[in-house]
């Protein structure tokens, strides 16, 4: 199986990938991964909620929706210095990309100007920048590009067929339209989905088909495992078979050979062995830190211990951008 970039995958082809014996799909994925990446290097990002709660969307998995009765405390947009202090701390922990998320359906132009100050400040620390702010107009996408934003996150969440069972306040096409605006202005995209919401294997294949058949593959593909939050409609959902997560990551690596695949939400509940299988399947990026927006994340100490056991390396930012090229150093985790 060659690592060929395709945008014409059929649903049946992707279902067939997911149906392969686990050893076979892992072999194909690892072969492709090694052809395009250092198989023992992990990229580290940190995600901060810069505006929490009071979101008008009705996403069935989310604690931040006003439609869901959770105990989440809402917060206004964080002050610039608070965000920059968090970015500095993330850099010290080894993160090279700092992602900022705001619980908006779509930002106002005033909101955008405040976030742009954060982007510029984080960029000056030598870190890559990513934001997720909801839907954008083409003018807003262009403004973010001009401000030097590196990545914009906008997940598809699930398949178009299953989407209406999870979200009704925006359409699947709304999400595709925002991704198209991002591509039009030249922003790199970060787009993936959530597993374990009650979808079928065919739904998971359909979501992957949507991503891989976009005009350009997302540069980063986060694969999330549902984090069940009391008060949301999906609380109490049956847990996904862990091997299904591994299969999806392996299929994602085969379908999008050059994209970074990020093992995202749900890692706090994953065993070390499951995470190791996900890395074997082609995941080469994680979110690092105690929280992902409002959901718990694996502890940084546990991550570092796991990296040591697996012999994984990662890059860290060596200095601020006053050094040429925003210098990075390679770090190996020692006991």
Is residue 130 among the annotated active site residues? Answer: yes
C-alpha angle with apex 197: 64 to 292, nearest 5 degrees? 40
Owner of token pair 């294997």: 201
Q: If you count them, how many residues does the chain have?
A: 335
Which residue among the candidates 55, 181, 209, 247 is catalytic per the annotation? Answer: 55
Known active-site residue 62:
yes
Out of 97, 143, 170, 190, the active site residue is 190
Single out the catalytic residue among 91, 97, 130, 209. 130
Q: Which of 97, 181, 253, 262 is catalytic?
A: 262
34 noted as active-site residue: no
Q: What angle (nearest 5°) sits at the alpha carbon of residue 203, between those of residues 35 and 30?
A: 15
Whether 327 is catalytic:
no
- What count of other Cβ atoms lies within 10 Å of the Cβ of residue 71? 8
How is residue 201 written in tokens? 């294997």
| Catalytic residue (one of 6, 34, 41, 99) | 99
Q: What is the DSSP letter of 219?
A: S
Q: Which helix (H) or strand (E) holds 330?
A: strand 328-332
Q: Which residues pair with 232 in a beta bridge?
A: none
- Cα–Cα distance between 63 and 293 in angstroms, integer? 10
Round to whole Å and give the CA distance between 324 and 68. 47
The enclosing H or E element of 131 equals strand 128-132
Token readout for 260 is: 């970074």
CA angle 254, 175, 293 (to 5 degrees): 85
Between strands 41-51 and 313-317, the pairing is: parallel
Cβ proximity of 141 and 179 under 8 Å: no
Q: Choose, from 59, 97, 170, 204, the residue flagged as catalytic.
A: 59
Q: Is 201 a catalytic residue?
A: no
Q: Which residues are catalytic?
A: 55, 59, 62, 99, 130, 190, 262
């Amino acid at each position: 199986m060659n690592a060929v970039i395709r945008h014409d995958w059929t649903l049946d082809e992707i279902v067939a990938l997911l149906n392969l014996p686990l050893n076979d799909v892992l072999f194909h994925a690892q072969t492709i991964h090694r052809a395009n990446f250092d198989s023992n290097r992990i990229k580290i990002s940190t995600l901060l909620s810069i505006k929490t709660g009071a979101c008008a969307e009705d996403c069935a998995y989310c604690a931040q929706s006003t439609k869901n009765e959770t105990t989440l405390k809402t917060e206004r947009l964080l002050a610039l210095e608070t965000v920059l202090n968090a970015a500095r701390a993330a850099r010290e922990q080894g993160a090279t990309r700092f992602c900022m998320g705001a619980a908006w359906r779509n930002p106002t132009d005033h909101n955008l100007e405040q976030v742009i100050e954060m982007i510029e400040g984080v960029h000056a620390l030598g870190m890559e920048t990513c934001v997720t702010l909801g839907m954008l107009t083409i003018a807003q996408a262009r403004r973010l590009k001009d401000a030097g934003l590196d990545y914009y996150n906008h997940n598809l969440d699930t398949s178009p067929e299953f989407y209406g069972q999870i979200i009704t306040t925006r359409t699947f096409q709304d999400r595709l339209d925002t991704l198209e605006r991002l591509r039009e202005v030249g922003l790199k995209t970060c787009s993936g989905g959530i597993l374990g919401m009650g979808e079928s294997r065919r739904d998971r294949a359909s979501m992957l088909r949507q991503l891989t058949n976009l005009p350009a593959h997302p540069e980063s593909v986060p694969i999330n495992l549902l984090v069940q939050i009391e008060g949301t409609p999906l609380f109490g959902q049956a847990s996904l078979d862990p091997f299904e997560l591994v299969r999806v990551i392996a299929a994602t690596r085969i379908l999008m050979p050059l994209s970074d695949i990020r093992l995202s939400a749900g890692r706090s509940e994953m065993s070390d062995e499951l995470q190791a299988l996900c890395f074997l399947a082609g995941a080469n990026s994680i979110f690092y830190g105690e929280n992902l927006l409002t959901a718990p994340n694996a502890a940084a100490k546990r991550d570092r211990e796991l990296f040591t056991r697996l012999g994984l390396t990662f890059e860290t930012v060596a200095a601020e951008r006053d050094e040429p090229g925003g210098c990075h150093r390679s770090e190996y985790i020692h006991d």
